[in-house]
Amino acid sequence: MPSIEPIIEPDIELSVIVPVYNEQDNLDYLFQRLLAVLAQLATTYEVICINDGSKDDTLKRLLDYHYQYPAIKIVNLSRNFGKEIALSAGLDYTNGAAVVIIDADLQDPPELIHELLPKWREGYDVVYATRRSRAGESWLKRSTAFGFYQVLNLISEVMIPHNTGDFRLLDRRVVEALRQIPERNRFMKGLFSWVGYKQTAVVFDRPPRHRGSSSWNYWKLWNFALEGFTSFSFMPLKIWSYLGLAIAIPAFFYASYLILRTMILGIDVPGYASLMVAILFFGGIQLVSLGVIGEYLGRIYQEVKGRPLYFVRDVYGFGEKEVKEVKEVRGGKGGKGR
Ligand code: UDP
Ligand code: MG
């Protein structure tokens, strides 16, 4: 169970979580649009920015905003933990009855909150934003993303909607459900679906990044995909038993045939090519299957170590919680994890 108890501030209806990593040039425009949207909503809100170990001026600029608008709160992580973990940290610090997760680079238009909220008021627990288009993304990125979701849904136990990022609204009960998930390997897109509840979609056009460049490259995406497969499916592990069986049964008959033939017709030396092919083929299969087992084993190791998910260096705007946090850190107990 998470160790951070949410401070119940029932007067806050909407919490917005923004994970930020090196987004100094996007913050002005982000807050300009986001605060305009929130002001129109005529509701109580807070904006929780998770500074995920930014190396530029992001924190300084966030602080300027925090002092100007107290509704903007900051959780400053001790280093870069990656977006998935930044989001989990954000969920731990929210108070709102509804929580919206939004990117800092304006690829998730804040104006869409106007459509997310009514759906929630209608009674949906999760309202996710599905993109109609992927402007500014290459053909390769689009097709690999499509293939990824296709395969993932084929082999995984939960249905993960296509073309849907983390941009969504979550009801408090879903947030509490997510906070109970202790996994260190956090494939959030999968977890959002896995928890269930009443879910619905809202469609939007996803614009390209406002400023800066995405921190994702193909290597990271590949690892992200592996995370998805291994977190939500045992298929890659099981497949080897079936493949092994499919090869072993014919091999048994073939071996029987060879033994009989040798006994009847005598020893027959040629066969170097077929031997070599068989050795290389099976050697390859064995290495691949060991690799797959290794992927799972590594993740088991990570889970077993049970390290806290993240550490918080400091927080701004959380009142009581803030004071407690600093005390604990100063007391030498380390930061606040889960
Ligand atoms: N982000 C983060 N930690 C990271 C990488 C990204 O908090 O290690 C944030 C980033 O600041 C942005 C969001 O996650 O608000 C999405 O990041 P990005 O635009 O790089 O991803 P993409 O839109 O390409 O999926
Ligand atoms: Mg982006």
Determine the pLDDT at residue 255.
82
Rounded Cα–Cα distance for residues 47 and 34 (Å) = 9
CA of 214 to the centre of ligand 1 (A): 7
And the tokens for 318?
């959380």
**Contact predicate 226/146, CB 8 Å:** no
Residue 181 corresponds to which tokens in the numbers above?
Answer: 């998930």
Longest dimension (CA), the chain: 93
| Residue 22 CA, closest ligand 1 atom number | 11
Calpha distance 160→128 (Å, rounded): 11
Q: Which residues contact 65 (CB under 8 A, 6 or more apart)?
A: 27, 31, 72
pLDDT of residue 274: 76
What is the best residue among 16, 58, 77, 83 to mutate for testing ligand 1's pocket, by most ligand atoms within 8 Å of CB? Answer: 83
Nearest to residue 245, comparing CAs of 287, 285, 288, 290?
285
Q: What is the 326 CA–ligand 1 centroid distance (Å)?
A: 27
Instruction: Indicate the top mutation candidate among 21, 33, 142 to test ligand 1's pocket, ranked by most ligand atoms within 8 A of CB.
Output: 21
pLDDT at residue 9, rounded to an integer: 52
Low-confidence stretches of the chain (pLDDT < 50) are 1-2, 6-7, 323-324, 326-338
CA distance 207 to 26: 14
What is the sign of the dihedral through the CA atoms of 228, 230, 232 and 234? positive
Q: List all residues whose CB is within 6 A of at least one atom of ligand 1.
A: 19-21, 23, 52, 80, 82-83, 86, 103-105, 107, 209, 214-216
Task: Specify the ligand 1 atom closest to the Cα of 19.
Answer: 7
pLDDT at 285: 79
- Among protein residues, the one with the nearest Cα to ligand 1's atom 22 is 214
**For residue 154, what pLDDT is reported?**
83
Residue 26 CA to ligand 2 center (angstroms) comes to 11
Which string of DSSP letters, residue by residue, matches 215-263?
S--HHHHHHHHHHHHHHH-SHHHHHHHHHHHHHHHHHHHHHHHHHHHHH
pLDDT at residue 275, rounded to an integer: 80
pLDDT for res 134: 66
Q: How far separated are the first and last CA of the chain, in Å rounded?
A: 7
Distance (Å) from CA 21 to ligand 1 centroid: 6
φ, ψ of residue 275 to 5 degrees: the values are -60, -50
* Bridge pairing between strands 164-171 and 98-101: antiparallel
pTM: 0.71
Q: Quick one: pLDDT at residue 321?
A: 54
pLDDT at 87: 93
